[in-house]
Structure 1
Amino acid sequence: MPQLLSAWTAVIPLRAGSKGLPSKNTRPLAGKPLYRHAVDQALQAGAARVVVTTDIEALWSAELPPEVALVRRPAELAGDTVPMAPVLVHALQAAQVSGPVVLLQATSPLRSADDIRQGLALYATGAFELVMSVTEADRSVLKWGRLEGDRFVPLSDPAHCFANRQSLPPVVKPNGAVYVLDAARFVASGSFVSEHIGALVMPAERSHDIDNLQDFERAEALLRTQP
């Protein structure tokens, strides 16, 4: 196992507000609050430290493992339209994080500790600036395009627009479960964008993301079927 895996920090962003499902991050899921699944997965995967950036006041009185440090997220970074990049930059700077970082969103509770370890192993090859978890998507999106006035502009190879779906190459999409990156590089750039992104492929059954009550209930049912 690469030495890099023994000294990394997990960052878990938790926001109090949620339009799809109020208080979802602290809502009990299969016996514990939703956010604790991400915390426990990070520790099981070998995180030396877990940084939780949050505006949820109740967490300051919660019983948390000694490896967990809380960062108070400013109100201007807690709105529902705020992108993740500035939230992560603030957390890394406030907690003085250096070295490899794994961003774990609490809304992906079905990921496993092994998924995290595999993402770290891929990052440890040195071939990528960012490793991102993905899952298979409908390849027919390769037929799509955008409009420039009345003109159809293909999103990919124009030949894909007229091909049978079965003959199109496989397509994946980000699932939001695991991101691996370097703290200093991310703070300097302030962006996830890179031309060197590694793909950690995860199955659909572990790529479930929670946005509303139906998603939450589906995730709980799936968790209860796991060994």
Structure 2
Amino acid sequence: MNCKKITALLPMKAHSERVPNKNIRLFNGRPLFHLITETLEFCNAIDSIIIDTDSDFIAEDAQKNFSKVRILKRPKALQGDFVSMNDIIAYDLEMTKAEHYLQTHSTNPLLTAVTVETAIENYFNAIEYYDSLFSVTRLQTRLFLESGTPINHNPKELLRTQDLPPVFVENSNIFLFSKTSFKRAENNRIGLRAKMFVMDKFEAIDIDDEIDFCFAEALYRIRSIEPVKETEELSK
């Protein structure tokens, strides 16, 4: 593992539109945000976890339970459901002194420390060629536009799905970037020369709605405690 250190950004707001109190709702008996925070604490490459929040409860609870956590109180200008995440990150970068950052979400409870550490290692190993890294999920299925036009296949050939050219879905689990690359990309966490990092699809579950929450919790309870499938790396 590269010896360089990373500052983790874990933004969390109090309000959640689709799943009420999502960040603090009990997930297998613990507040949801505890799972990803604990994962980040386990990563040796991460020296601090910045929780940017407008919730007094989250701020107090996080500082009480996690040693690496620092709190940034989110200003009113950046509160609400329609604020761009890149605007929040820009504020966090302005308020911190690190050069390299990892940003993730409390809604990624199945993300493991092994995968985070592997992504960080990939990021630093490729830093001469890529300015950032983001996690994706491989997708091999027949895709169509709303008009019915096929995107990635010829309906007349009907190839097996495993033989289709893969496409990749940004899964919102891991974003790695530097303060410099963020600014060069006009305040974007995905830089001008970004590297894709392929993750196992079950580990990459991101909770957006009630069904996601129930599915992630059920999978968390039944999955093996052994390390998840080996992650892949893909250059973009």
Q: Is TM > 0.5 for Structure 1 vs Structure 2?
A: yes
Runs (5+) with no aligned partner, structure 1: none
Q: Is the 8 A contact 2:135 2:170 kept in 1?
A: yes
Matches of 2:65 and 2:217 in 1, distance apart? 22
1:33-85 C-alpha deviation (Å, 9 max, x unpaired)? 11111111111122100000011121233213232100011223222122210
Displacement of 1:161 in angstroms is 7.4
Report the counterpart of residue 158 of structure 2 in structure 1.
164
The question of 1:14 aligning with 2:46 is answered: no
Displacement of 1:155 in angstroms is 6.4
Give the aligned CA root-mean-square deviation in angstroms.
2.3
Report the counterpart of residue 53 of structure 1 in structure 2.
52
Cα distance change on mapping 1:84 and 1:146 into 2, 3 Å: farther
Matches of 2:159 and 2:50 in 1, distance apart? 43
Q: Which amino acid aligns with 1:74?
A: P
Cα distance change on mapping 1:19 and 1:145 into 2, 3 Å: closer
Cα distance change on mapping 1:187 and 1:195 into 2, 3 Å: closer
Aligned pairs, number: 216
Q: Is the 8 A contact 2:32 2:106 kept in 1?
A: yes
Q: Is the 8 A contact 1:98 1:184 kept in 2?
A: no
Report the counterpart of residue 41 of structure 2 in structure 1.
43
| 1:1-227 equivalences in 2 (<5 Å) | 1-4=1-4, 7-46=5-44, 47-62=46-61, 63-94=64-95, 96-125=96-125, 126=127, 127-141=129-143, 144=145, 164-166=158-160, 167-187=163-183, 189-226=186-223, 227=225
Runs (5+) with no aligned partner, structure 2: 226-236
Q: Is the 8 A contact 2:177 2:190 kept in 1?
A: no
Q: Which amino acid aligns with 2:122?
A: L
Flag the structure with higher helix content. Answer: 1
Q: Which amino acid aligns with 1:118?
A: T
Matches of 2:81 and 2:196 in 1, distance apart? 27
Matches of 1:90 and 1:49 in 2, distance apart? 17
TM-score by length of 1: 0.85
